[in-house]
């Protein structure tokens, strides 16, 4: 038996093997797009046999669905940490970097969410948005009247904007993630309308009749 093939069949940690296949899927989709994905190719990149890959995933579509959920879990983990106000921008920055480093896989999650499907608690991207909002609320910085039905969709648009910008920009990931974080945080804190434009109009004093 070929040594390389023999080495592939000796991987005995199912959890580790599954993680390697999922990471290989994310890497493959990020580099070549979803059309290049197959169980055979993911197994090759993960250095396991195709038979082992089929022990974990039924087919290509199953592998892709699980990879989306796995990436969503990694994104949620990137938001974890201290829940004090000083950590909010750090979580945004880590999440932005992770999205940019896995742009194609993140784009697939976004397309799935925008394909007319309901955003349910089991949808990976929805789980990410809810985790972000829960941490923001726990920080004590959220307004008490936030519309929690509307805000996830506004955040969804922010993720879409970041991905679209990355296709048009030549900056490195760190630079683009930092610019996104700085502007996003500024908008959250200050808005985009100048203070003088936000001032309410003064009521007009009725003219006295002569």
What is the CB neighbour count within 10 angstroms for residue 3? Answer: 7
State how far the Cα of 30 lies from the Cα of 73, in Å rounded to an integer: 17
What's the pLDDT band for 57 if we cut at 50, 70, 90?
very high
Structure tokens at 48: 């396991």
Cβ 193 vs Cβ 203: under 8 Å: no
Q: Which of 58-72, 77-91, 105-119 is modeled with the greatest confidence? A: 58-72
Residue range 6-23, pLDDT digits in tens: 444 454 688 999 999 999
Structure tokens at 69: 């959920």
Domains of the chain: 12-189 (1.10.357.10)
What is the DSSP-derived secondary structure letter of residue 75? H
pTM across the whole model = 0.62
State how far the Cα of 156 lies from the Cα of 139, in Å rounded to an integer: 21
């Amino acid at each position: 038996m070929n040594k390389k093939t023999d080495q592939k069949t000796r991987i005995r940690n199912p959890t580790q093997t599954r993680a390697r296949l999922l990471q290989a899927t994310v890497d493959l989709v990020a580099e070549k797009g979803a059309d290049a994905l197959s169980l055979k190719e993911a197994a090759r990149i993960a250095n396991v046999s195709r038979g082992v890959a089929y022990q974990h995933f039924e087919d290509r579509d199953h592998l892709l669905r699980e990879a989306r959920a796995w990436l969503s879990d990694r994104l949620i983990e990137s938001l974890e940490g201290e829940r004090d106000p000083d950590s909010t921008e750090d979580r945004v920055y880590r999440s932005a970097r992770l999205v940019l480093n896995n742009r194609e896989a993140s784009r697939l999650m976004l397309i799935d969410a925008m394909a007319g499907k309901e955003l349910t608690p089991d949808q990976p991207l929805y789980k990410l948005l809810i985790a972000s909002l829960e941490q923001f609320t726990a920080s004590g910085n959220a307004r008490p009247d936030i519309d929690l039905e509307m805000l996830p969709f506004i955040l969804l648009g922010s993720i879409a904007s970041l991905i679209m910008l990355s296709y048009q920009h030549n900056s490195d990931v760190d630079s683009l993630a930092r610019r996104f974080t700085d502007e996003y945080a500024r908008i959250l804190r200050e808005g985009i309308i100048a203070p003088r434009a936000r001032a309410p109009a003064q009521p007009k004093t009725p003219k006295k009749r002569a």
